[in-house]
Amino acid sequence: MRKRLLGQTGVLVSEFALGTMTFGQEADESAAGAVLDHYVESGGNLIDTADVYPPVGPRGASEEIIGRWLDRQPGRRDSIILATKCRGRMDDSGNSEGLSRRWIIRACEGSLRRLKTDYIDLYQAHQWDPATPIEETLAAFDSLVRAGKVRYIGVSNFTGWQLERTVLTAQNLGLSVPVSLQPQYNMLAREIEWELVPVCLEHRLSIVPWGPLGQGWLSGKYRRDAAPTGPTRLGEDPNRGLEAYSRRNIERTWRIVDAVQAVASELGGRRRGSPCAGWPTVPGSPPRCLAPGTPNSSGTTSWRPTSPLTNANGPSWTTSAHR
């Protein structure tokens, strides 16, 4: 798997990231461990999580699963770029959320404990916090970097003006500057192209998108003429994901979904006799294709290229298996 530099750092990350939002919810510990094993064996090294994952169930379970997995892999920690986030509410005790200095330091200590590690490679603000001055937030992140508990910082789900203000404030105060943005980005949600992508290009921040398959809408498993059923996100809860896509413009959503399925079908037809023709592969026997919906020669579905990771070295790709 090819590697790209993370922002303006010298850190190489794999073109495919592994998102772990539903570890502990849709993927139990055994399944999560199998996914992690397969990912690193395929050459991946960027594992992304958050303290509030999974969204349903015990908070911190995803980090705990990853921590126990790392604990069973002596010597593997140094080869993994581990990313997590803080901002969301962890409990109802009060002051257990936000981007205040008090909570950021406490949240970081909790993530380090659950992940069973001494440091976090990429520590990200999960969302903007209107209650806390950005100067306080950046100073707290900078103190963690200086203490060696965090290597780099990033942000997620920021708007254009929030990202620009954050970067300029950090530069002006001589604090650690974010190296990446993690926004929602897929063919159903392209709003980041209006302002966020230009800001990232201007300041050479990497874009590490979440939701590249639109919560399953772009995976090919949902169709106009069949209601979602079975063990899928919309099958278990038909309203899940509809707020973000279908109810906003259901006809537009289905046109895009239909187009994706048509292209996938056409590409599949062109590749008879050579499942990986025209697409990069993961070395192995048999090789695994890096194509959307393309089965490899063992009949399993491969990792899928999704949205671009923009940095100084040109475009690359990132995806997440459980988002």
- The pLDDT assigned to 237 comes to 74
Percent of the residues in the chain that have a pLDDT greater than 90, as a whole number:
59
A 10 A CB-CB count for 204 gives 14
Active site residue 245: no
| Region 3-212+306-318: CATH code | 3.20.20.100
Contact 66, 47 (CB under 8 A): yes
Question: CA-CA distance, 126 to 89, in Å (whole number)?
Answer: 11
Question: CA-CA distance, 267 to 249, in Å (whole number)?
Answer: 27
pTM above 0.85, yes or no: no
Domain ranges, ordered by start, for the chain = 3-212+306-318
Q: Which of 39, 53, 152, 222 is catalytic?
A: 53
- Give tens-digit pLDDT for 11-61: 999 999 999 999 999 899 999 999 999 999 999 999 999 999 999 889 999
